[in-house]
A = this chain, B = another copy of it.
Amino acid sequence: MTANTLKLGLIQHASPGPPHAQPGDNLARCGALIREAAGQGATLIVTQELFTAHYFPQVEDDGLFDLAESLDPERPGPSYAALRDLAGELRVTISGSLFERRAPGVYHNTTVTFGPTGEEVGRYRKMHIPDDPRFYEKYYFTPGDLGWQTFGLPEADGRDPAARVGTLVCWDQWFPEAARLTAMKGASLLLYPTAIGYYNHPERGEPADVREQQRDAWLTMMRSHAIANGVFVAAANRVGTENDLTFWGSSFVCGPDGRLIAQASRDRDEVLLAECDLSLIEPQRRGWPFLRDRRTDSYAPLLKRLDD
């Protein structure tokens, strides 16, 4: 553990309660795990995606928009206020994934980060929105309009004051562009609050080998972002079965060489701790200088849908 080591805590848990659970149910469960992480020395703590409730986008129901909360610092909803107060009380940084009610009819899947003085230090609205059977997110979430986001770490920790952390969310993890753009903004670590699992219907669900392929593909994509960009990558995923979905947990942290540093179980509530030595990034990037060699003169078609 060097002076440049960041101690990260990922919060992985089930979300019990009825589909229309009130946010408070899982706030308490998650809050207890955040306290445990801080007690074990984590200074940056990350929740899973939309941790306050069941994974509600399994159905399209306009009553479920009622789960969204104000993230206006002047008039915050209960989850914003709870995370803000917890960060200040525990003197840690917390990135929490929340369902944002921005205006009537405009809702986002948003990560808000609070620093150890309790102030908001970062906000990211999920940019890539999925829509698949049982993941009807395009119905609920307006695509993010804040662009690619990073936040700074407290200088008091003695780390490189330039070190920054990038916030992305779940579906973003399948897009190399999102990881690249956030790393290009100076992120040393990419955080992905996540809600990913498989369809568990006994007849129409996915066979075991497909489930395993999906989980492996998820890890492969995420580790590739670490390698391609020379950054740490961390994902906090939920566990448990909710209706037709079983979330596969496996929250993890990998280093800038793509190797796993820590990984949680597939099925238990856990605090996953990992020490990220940010001083490993520069030698990794000197050894594999991909950022030096990008052919920026030839990337213009990336701004198109297809190059046809």
Contact = CB atoms under 8 A, between A and B. Distances in A.
Given A132-B289, A185-B307, A293-B130, A177 B259 contact: no
A220 interface: yes
Nearest to A219: B220
Contacts of A289: 132
Nearest to A290: B174
Contacts of A290: 174-175
Contacts of A287: 132
Contact of A293 (B171, B185, B294, B300): B171
A240 B197 CA distance: 42
A302 interface: yes
A258 B184 contact: no
Contacts of A304: 184, 296
B308 A257 contact: no
A288 B175 CA distance: 11
A54 interface: no
B213 A258 contact: yes
Contact of A184 (B127, B217, B301): B301
A110 B174 CA distance: 30
A284 to B, nearest CB: 10
Interface string A173-214: 011111011001110000000000000000000000000010
Given A184-B306, A304-B184, A127 B176 contact: no
Contacts of A184: 301-302, 304, 306-308
Contacts of A288: 174
A295 interface: yes
A259 B185 CA distance: 32
Contact of A259 (B176, B213, B302): B213
* Most central of A177, A213, A305 by chain B CB within 10 Å: A177
A204 to B, nearest CB: 14
Nearest to A176: B176
Contacts of A213: 257-259
A216 B260 CA distance: 12
B186 A308 contact: yes
A289 B174 CA distance: 10
Contacts of A148: 298, 301, 307
**Lowest 6 A-B CB distances belong to which pairs?**
A176-B176, A224-B224, A184-B307, A217-B258, A185-B307, A217-B227
Interface of A: 127-130, 132, 143, 147-148, 171, 174-178, 180-181, 184-186, 213, 216-217, 220-221, 223-224, 227-228, 257-259, 287-291, 293-296, 298-308
Given A174-B288, A223-B224, A302-B303, 9 more contacts: A176-B176, A177-B302, A181-B299, A184-B302, A184-B308, A217-B257, A224-B224, A296-B305, A299-B302
